[in-house]
């Protein structure tokens, strides 16, 4: 496990240092371009291959349900803890969002495939189903909560959020794969090979892009950031574990989904916070803090699960 996390951390570190090594290189533009390609090409290809290759079972419903329960519980706990605190509303809203929505693909997928090399397709399914649960909730509930902290709820933002959910390429890739496999028509070999080649590039690109999105800033007044990070890194996986056992999710999906619950804050949260006017500087610090901390908490959680 140490080799896997160190390798992933090295790629992320490389991405985070590009802005310093290549001062004339537009890191933000490159990161956005990578994000567009991953979202619209590489990830849908991986989704299609995984759904077509791995037999579907009750986990197709159980995993989204478990992840949804965890998001709602963490949001509720964060609201309960942050609301009474003497902090600007914009910072409260940003840290509430940071407490609930995990980086289940950009970090979760590489970590799971590294930890479970013999079950790469099965754990990729966990990451995919976690993504199509977490991202729509972030785009809808997250936007609504963010606007509530700002005291405004505009119809335009809701329409944009709904459009983003409905047009998620990964979601449509799942639909296409399920329809195709349900029809009984074999998937052509060249198509599966193309999706394999495209899907194999996802891990490296995601980790590089993750690092490119992190910036080193001075850490001041850290305790609210630590509170949000504790909810995301420690409370969330415990909620996922309890919900998964209650629902009856079986291995290897149970262990993988618990690790997905332990992932640090989703980078999309930063985009949403910026869109609705929350404190993006504090949120960026929180993401940097809990992403770094996750390279310690995830191995500890994995060791506890195995014991």
Segment 69-95 shows an average pLDDT of 90
Are 111 and 298 spatial neighbours (Cβ–Cβ below 8 Å)?
A: yes
Q: What is the CATH number of the domain that holds 55?
A: 1.20.1530.20
Find residue 265's DSSP bridge partners. Answer: 102
Q: Print the domain residue range for 94.
A: 2-306
Q: Which residue has the tokens 């754990």?
A: 123
Q: Which residue has tokens 């590009």?
A: 18
Residues near 25 by beta carbon (within 8 Å), at least 6 away in sequence: 18, 19
Distance CA 147, CA 110 (A): 32
- Confidence band, pLDDT 50/70/90 cuts, at residue 158: low
218 pLDDT higher than 70: no
Give, in order, the Cα–Cα distances in Å from 242 to each of 129, 140, 177, 246. 18, 25, 30, 6
Return d(Cα 222, Cα 23) in angstroms, integer: 29
- Measured distance CA(86)–CA(97) in Å, rounded: 18
**Gap between the Cα atoms of 76 and 81, Å rounded:** 9
d(CA 287, CA 213): 10
| 45-54, 202-211, 230-239, 258-267: segment of lowest average pLDDT | 202-211
Count of domains in the chain?
Answer: 1
Model confidence band, residue 155 (pLDDT cutoffs 50, 70, 90): low
pLDDT of residue 3: 67
Q: What is the mean pLDDT of the chain?
A: 82
Q: What is the mean pLDDT of residues 129-153?
A: 77
Two tokens, residue 258 = 């618990």
pLDDT score of 217: 65
- What are residue 279's phi and psi, to 5 degrees? -80, 90
pLDDT mean over 3-29: 80
Lowest mean pLDDT among 77-86, 91-100, 131-140, 158-167: 158-167
Mean pLDDT across 14-34? 82
Q: What is the mean pLDDT of the segment spanning 179-208?
A: 81
* Distance separating alpha carbons of residues 196 and 193, to the nearest angstrom: 5
pTM of the model: 0.80
pLDDT band of 230, cuts 50, 70, 90: very high
Q: Residue 277: which H helix or E strand, with range? A: none
């Amino acid at each position: 496990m140490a080799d896997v996390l160190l390798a992933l951390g090295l790629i992320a570190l490389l991405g985070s240092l590009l802005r310093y090594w290549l001062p004339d290189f537009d890191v933000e533009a490159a990161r956005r371009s990578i994000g567009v390609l991953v979202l619209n090409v590489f990830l849908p290809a991986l989704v299609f291959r995984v759904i077509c290759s791995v037999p579907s079972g009750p986990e197709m419903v159980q995993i989204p349900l478990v992840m949804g329960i965890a998001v709602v519980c963490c949001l509720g706990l964060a609201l309960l803890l942050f609301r009474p605190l003497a902090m600007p509303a914009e910072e409260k809203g940003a840290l509430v969002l940071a407490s609930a929505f995990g980086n289940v693909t950009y970090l979760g997928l590489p970590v799971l495939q590294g930890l479970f090399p013999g079950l790469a397709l099965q754990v990729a399914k966990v990451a995919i189903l976690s993504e199509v649960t977490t991202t729509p909730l972030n785009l809808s509930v997250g936007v609504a909560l963010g606007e509530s902290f700002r005291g405004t709820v505009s119809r335009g933002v809701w329409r944009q959020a709904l459009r983003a959910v409905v047009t998620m390429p990964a979601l449509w890739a799942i639909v296409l794969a399920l329809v195709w496999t349900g029809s009984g028509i074999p998937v052509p070999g060249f198509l599966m090979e193309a999706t394999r080649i495209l899907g194999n590039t996802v891990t490296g690109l995601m980790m590089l892009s993750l690092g490119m999105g992190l910036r080193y800033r001075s850490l001041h007044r850290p305790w609210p950031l630590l509170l949000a990070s504790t909810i995301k890194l420690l409370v969330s996986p415990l909620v996922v574990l309890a919900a998964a056992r209650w629902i009856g999710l079986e291995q290897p999906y149970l262990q993988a989904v618990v690790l997905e619950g332990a992932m640090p804050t989703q980078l999309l949260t930063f985009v949403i916070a910026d869109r609705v006017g929350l404190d993006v500087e504090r949120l960026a610090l929180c993401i940097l803090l809990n992403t770094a901390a996750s390279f310690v908490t995830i191995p500890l959680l994995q060791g506890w699960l195995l014991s």
